[in-house]
Amino acid sequence: MCKIALIFGTRPEIIKVAPVYLKAKEMGIDITFVCTGQHREMVDMMKSVFNVDADYDMNIMTQNQTLNDVASRVIAEFQGYASDKNFDWVLVQGDTTTAMASAIAAFNMGIKVGHIEAGLRSGNLYDPFPEEMNRRVTDQLSELMFAPTQRARQALLSEGFEDGRIIVTGNTVVDAQMYVLDHFDLSGIRKRIIENDNYFLVTLHRRENIGERMRNVLRAMRKFSQETGLEIVFPMHKNPRVRQSVAEELGDFKLARLIEPVDYVTSTALIQGARFVATDSGGIQEEAPTFKKLVVVCRETTERPEVIDSHFGILAGTSENGVYNALKMTLEMDAPDLPNPFGDGNASQRILSAIVGGN
């Protein structure tokens, strides 16, 4: 029987791999759920949502850890753990240091690597940093690349990857959304935070945006909110530098609801109820179209151009004027009445069928 290790370490990863793990269990596949603990608190928040827990936890997180700390500890820990497990495959997801380091460790041990969400590209190695590098390295090491969209497949083909190594599956985040819609009362959950729907949801955390870029974005949001009366609902990332910028720009602003990080179910409920979303997150760009919500992408680039091409999103940049103008555009636009361009809820099945069928 095929033995799989499925590795995660951050909140976005567990959201996107939990459906794969649950589907594997349903299919009777021998799968081991491995947590690196790269983002300890945020990962632990997520486990109860999908009623899952790690079979093995590296618990690598330390205070003020650097990217090199994370990478070196993941490689060493996985080497020690997996040396006698005889895994046939290691599955990693996305563009985190956990994914990249796990792929390196598996490759060096002769274990086949499968990359969930392969082929995303911004075209700039330093933006987003270090995600663009992480996903390029992970693709190079992967036996199979599970591209979420045809555009991602074309990006891989243009880089010279063999067509037989690329499988278009859709994005597992849509699988996760289908799970949440089936298991939770999203309207009731949203009303615990805000009763009305006269708000837009904000998330900001990108490493390359911290500092002046983020302050520009926050100033634009404040100006827009003041003019329109739309409230800001902002679950704040734990990064102290993010919180400092938010406190300086929105701390005294009465239309801003600054709240602690929320679990995935609450985040989904807030997306569903919002007028639109403004974010520098990659995942929310994929999630909002399920609910026919526009996304203002507060970044200089996006590796998910499908959200722009499908007219669900506006690439705002990070200047104050650019973000302000993009926010104003949402008042004049309707989200298209189209399916989510990132998936149909069956990505997990396609990924596992490719692994089991080809093993």
Which residues are the active-site residues?
95, 117, 131, 205, 207, 237
Please compute, for residue 139, the number of CA atoms within 13 A of its CA located in the half-sphere on the CB side: 28
Rounded Cα distance between 250 and 256, Å, is 7
Residue pair 125/133 in contact (Cβ under 8 Å)? The answer is yes
Give the list of residues 6+ apart from residue 149 with CB closer than 8 angstroms, or none.
Answer: 119, 168, 170, 171, 306, 341, 342
Rounded Cα distance between 156 and 140, Å, is 10
Give CB contacts under 8 A, 24+ apart, made by 287-296: 287/173, 287/177, 288/312, 288/313, 289/335, 289/338, 289/339, 289/340, 289/341, 289/342, 290/174, 290/177, 290/340, 292/335, 292/336, 292/337, 293/335, 294/330, 294/333, 294/335, 296/323, 296/326, 296/327, 296/330
Rounded Cα distance between 61 and 264, Å, is 21
